[in-house]
């Protein structure tokens, strides 16, 4: 089931040149593009992944496609999906195994279904391809398409793997052994960290960090009035006054103790504009450490030893925890999302009424990418600290987004987050994100030091400007294409 995703141009290249922090990166890209892009004349680049919504790959793709086109590279985005839930159960298992998580191994008898879906998608894609095109396949779900494309036309193939772990065990070996017949067929492979590259691909692989578009709706500057309008329009703030813009077509919904979903200010307004809060945004995935974060928050709120002085005691009394993730029904390649959200809800129900009032679990609407991105942007801007308590994390663009906004970030000790944050330099690292005690300790230490939060935020933004803006990623792709 192949779908070509329509991508609007959106922000134009010249718009970036208006910003002092963005102009140097843009001009470096334009300078090298003048040399490298003409070499790709007559070549089309195809970006292939498994979903158009939810997750970092789908987040990056529209701006990546748009900017490729604007510098003169013919590029299209294709989603290789399936209506077979069993296929995504297999690929989710591969995802977990690559992260070293103990779960059922993926077995040879499952290969038939994996290849059947990839064969069908490959045959559909082949009708769109022409000689000398470059096909970039993202992550394990569509990786098997190469078996049914290789040799059909003179094409170049790149596999871009966005997940991994910096240690290896029986689980990772099982996953890589399963994928070996496909990954070895690619001309080149790209990973998010050196430690993720399996030994058999070491000679044909490079490292490329994911990046953000600073002028995307999720990352662009929002005025106070615009922020208030977004929170009001999305149902996250009770509209105390009339706002300029109309309500969003779909509202963010807060999980209630009775299991219903309603606007976040019901039954009581969490006061996101007025009270300190810690925020975590991400897919409903066990590896994101949502449950451990809730338990750490619970410890921090109830432990009197954390209440150093009157001001900090007051801060902890007022503190909220906001957990925000996509509506699971819109993330087609992650069949576990609904189950994980139910696990979080089951624990939430067991908490005291006071803690239930202080924890805000949000299902974010996915019908409009723009509205979804504006909601995340507004939440990140209002947060006192942004947390990514991942137990495993391939990279973590939610970390990058918050760093760009000069927010103090707390991240789990994972390779992907460590690629962005050094402890006490750009943010804080939780050594064991699976231990609620560690989570509570680090959160409390950072919350009680407002000046430190400000310093870390400024350093964090500089790191993003230097290393994680989209211009750098496009340059890396251009140099990789030039090898062909």
How buried is 152 (Cβ within 10 angstroms: 0-12 exposed, 13-18 middle, 19+ buried)? exposed
Residue 187 covered by a domain:
yes
Q: Do 367 and 229 sit in the same domain of this protein?
A: yes
| Buried b / exposed e along 107-142 (16+ C-beta atoms within 10 A) | eeebeeebbebbebbbeebeeebeeebbbbbbbbbb
Q: Do 187 and 130 sit in the same domain of this protein?
A: yes
Pick from 131-135, 236-240, 387-391: least confident: 236-240
Q: Do 196 and 84 sit in the same domain of this protein?
A: yes
Asked if residue 58 has pLDDT above 80, the reply is yes
Q: Do 474 and 425 sit in the same domain of this protein?
A: no
Instruction: Give the CATH number of the domain where residue 369 resides.
Output: 3.40.50.2000
Residue 194 covered by a domain:
yes
- pLDDT band at 285; cut points 50, 70, 90: very high
- pLDDT band at 463; cut points 50, 70, 90: very high
Residue 195 covered by a domain:
yes
Asked if residue 334 has pLDDT above 90, the reply is no
Asked if residue 387 has pLDDT above 90, the reply is yes
Q: Do 261 and 193 sit in the same domain of this protein?
A: no
Domain of residue 14: give its range: 2-211+470-482
Give the contacts of 296 (CB within 8 A, at least 6 positions apart).
Answer: 389, 436, 437, 438, 439, 440, 443
Q: Do 176 and 269 sit in the same domain of this protein?
A: no
Residues making up the chain, counted from first to last: 484
Q: Do 230 and 176 sit in the same domain of this protein?
A: no
Asked if residue 304 has pLDDT above 90, the reply is no
Q: Do 100 and 188 sit in the same domain of this protein?
A: yes
- pLDDT band at 472; cut points 50, 70, 90: very high
Q: Do 181 and 244 sit in the same domain of this protein?
A: no
* Average pLDDT value for residue range 69-83: 96
Asked if residue 7 has pLDDT above 90, the reply is yes
Residue 217 covered by a domain:
no
Are 213 and 63 in contact by the 8 Å Cβ rule? The answer is yes
Q: Do 93 and 119 sit in the same domain of this protein?
A: yes
Are 149 and 126 in contact by the 8 Å Cβ rule? The answer is yes
For residue 156, what is the DSSP state? E
Q: Do 160 and 231 sit in the same domain of this protein?
A: no
* Average pLDDT value for residue range 173-181: 95
Paired tokens of 456: 């870390």
Q: Do 450 and 313 sit in the same domain of this protein?
A: yes
Residue 216 covered by a domain:
no
pLDDT of the residue at 374:
98
In total, how many domains does the chain have? 2
The torsion region of residue 222 among left (phi > 0), alpha (psi -120 to 50) and beta comes to: beta
Residue 219 covered by a domain:
no
């Amino acid at each position: 089931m192949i779908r070509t995703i329509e991508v609007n141009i959106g922000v134009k290249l010249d718009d970036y040149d208006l910003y002092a922090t963005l102009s140097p990166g843009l001009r470096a890209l334009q300078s090298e593009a003048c040399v490298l892009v003409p070499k790709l004349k007559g070549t089309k680049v195809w970006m292939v992944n498994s979903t158009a919504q939810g997750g970092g790959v789908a987040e990056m793709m529209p701006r990546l496609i748009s900017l490729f086109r604007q510098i003169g590279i013919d590029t299209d985005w294709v989603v290789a999906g399936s209506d077979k839930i069993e296929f995504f159960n297999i690929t989710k298992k591969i995802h977990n195994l690559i992260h070293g998580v103990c779960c059922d191994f993926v077995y040879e008898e499952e290969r038939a279904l994996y290849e059947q879906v990839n064969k069908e998608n490959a045959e559909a894609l082949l009708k769109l391809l022409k000689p000398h095109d470059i096909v970039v396949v993202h992550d394990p779900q569509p990786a098997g398409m190469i078996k049914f494309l290789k040799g059909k036309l003179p094409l170049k193939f790149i596999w871009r793997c966005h997940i991994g772990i910096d240690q290896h065990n029986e689980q990772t070996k099982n996953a890589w052994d399963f994928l070996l017949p496909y990954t070895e067929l690619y001309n080149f492979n790209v990973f998010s960290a050196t430690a993720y590259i399996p030994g058999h691909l070491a000679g044909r692989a490079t490292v490329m960090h994911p990046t953000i578009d600073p002028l995307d709706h999720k990352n662009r500057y929002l005025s106070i009035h615009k922020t208030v309008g977004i929170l009001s329009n999305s149902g996250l703030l009770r509209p105390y006054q009339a706002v300029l813009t109309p309500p969003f077509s779909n509202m963010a919904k807060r999980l209630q103790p009775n299991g219903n979903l309603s606007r976040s200010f019901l039954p009581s307004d969490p006061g996101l504009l007025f009270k300190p809060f810690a925020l975590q945004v991400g897919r409903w995935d066990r590896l994101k450490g949502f449950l451990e974060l809730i338990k750490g928050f619970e410890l921090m709120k109830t432990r009197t030893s954390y209440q150093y002085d009157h001001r900090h005691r007051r801060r902890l009394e007022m503190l909220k925890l906001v957990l925000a993730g996509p509506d699971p029904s819109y993330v087609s390649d992650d069949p576990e999302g609904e189950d994980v959200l139910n696990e979080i809800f089951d624990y939430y129900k067991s908490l005291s009424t006071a803690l239930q009032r202080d924890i805000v679990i949000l299902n974010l609407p996915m019908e409009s990418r723009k509205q979804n991105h504006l909601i995340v942007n507004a939440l990140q801007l209002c947060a006192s600290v942004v947390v990514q308590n991942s137990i495993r994390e391939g990279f973590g663009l939610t970390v990058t987004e918050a760093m760009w906004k000069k927010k103090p970030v707390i991240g789990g000790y994972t390779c992907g987050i460590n690629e962005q944050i050094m402890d006490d330099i750009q943010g804080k690292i939780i050594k064991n994100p699976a231990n609620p005690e560690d989570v509570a300790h680090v959160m409390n230490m950072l919350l009680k030091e407002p000046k430190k939060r400000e310093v870390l935020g400024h350093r964090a933004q500089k790191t993003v400007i230097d290393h994680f803006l989209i211009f750098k990623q496009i340059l890396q792709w251009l140099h990789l294409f030039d090898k062909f």
